[in-house]
Amino acid sequence: MKKGKLYLIPSLLGDSDANASLPNSITNHIKEINVFIVENIRSARRFIRKVEKKKNIDNCTFYAFGKHDRLNLEEDFLPHILNGEDVGVISEAGLPCVADPGSKIVAYAHDFQIQVIPLVGPSSIFLALMASGLNGQNFVFHGYLPIDKKERERKIKQMESNSRKENQTQIFMETPYRNHQLLDAIIKNSSNKARLCIATNITLSSENIKTKTIEEWKNTKLDIQKKPTIFLLLAK
């Protein structure tokens, strides 16, 4: 029997317009796929309903792969594929396997020569980089910075040093309710001439993307608390 395929299905970046953010191909694949491995089952079901209202979600099978879930790929994933069923991976927001644990599923699929098909969709990381005006030829994504204050300060200083040496854009993020704490730490531990882009609520009607020097940010009031935000830093 022919093996099924693994589809990496991008989701929305918040409560945005699906027609504006996702190509029709996403809807077409969701119509056909009935087995999903998702970061959060409740939000994945909500996303599928929004994208394809006619789909009977009760006929679908969902497996969770969040950081607190124990997904058994051999028992839960592989039998569907070997039975010829396609499987879709859906992240909590944006592209699967980028800044989430989905890469383990893809690595497992490659080990079994299962075809992996990435679908086109929004990425807050790359959309922020596009709109930042910072170096898009040389950049690195750090994910979440350390929570510990001293470790975080050390990381920020290290990123700025690397950025200056390599002319490299440093991209990172924080849990939204700690955004203001991170911004304060960036301002206190970066040089005045370094450029910082703050990209908030990307693709939403409240989207706000601004790039300023650290010196300029010191005199700018900004409300980013509890709002999904990408930070990009380039030192001169």
Mean pLDDT rounded to a whole number for the chain: 94
Rounded distance between C-alpha atoms, residue 127 and residue 113, angstroms:
32
Mind listing the pLDDT tens digit for each residue in 24-57?
Answer: 999 999 999 999 999 999 999 999 999 998 999 9
Global pTM? 0.92
β-sheet bridge partners, residue 90: 9, 38
The pLDDT of residue 67: 67
DSSP assigned state of 226? T
Among positive and negative, which fits the CA dihedral 173, 10, 41, 85? negative
Residue 5's pLDDT is: 97
CA distance 193 to 212: 9
- Interhelix angle 179-189/149-166, rounded to 10 degrees, is 60
| Helix extents (H) in the chain | 18-21, 24-32, 41-51, 78-82, 103-111, 124-132, 149-166, 179-189, 214-217
Cα–Cα distance, 19 to 104 (Å, whole number): 30
- What pLDDT score does 48 carry? 96
Pick 124-234's CATH classification: 1.10.3720.10, 3.20.20.70, 3.30.950.10, 3.40.1260.10.
Answer: 3.30.950.10
Over residues 136-161, mean pLDDT = 97
Q: What is the pLDDT of residue 166?
A: 97
Residue with tokens 């920020």: 156
pLDDT tens readout for residues 66-81: 766 678 888 889 999 9
Domain boundaries, the chain: 6-118, 124-234
Calpha distance 78→109 (Å, rounded): 8
Q: State in words which class domain 6-118 has.
A: alpha beta
Same CATH topology for 6-118 and 124-234: the answer is: no
CB of 89 closer than 8 Å to CB of 8? yes
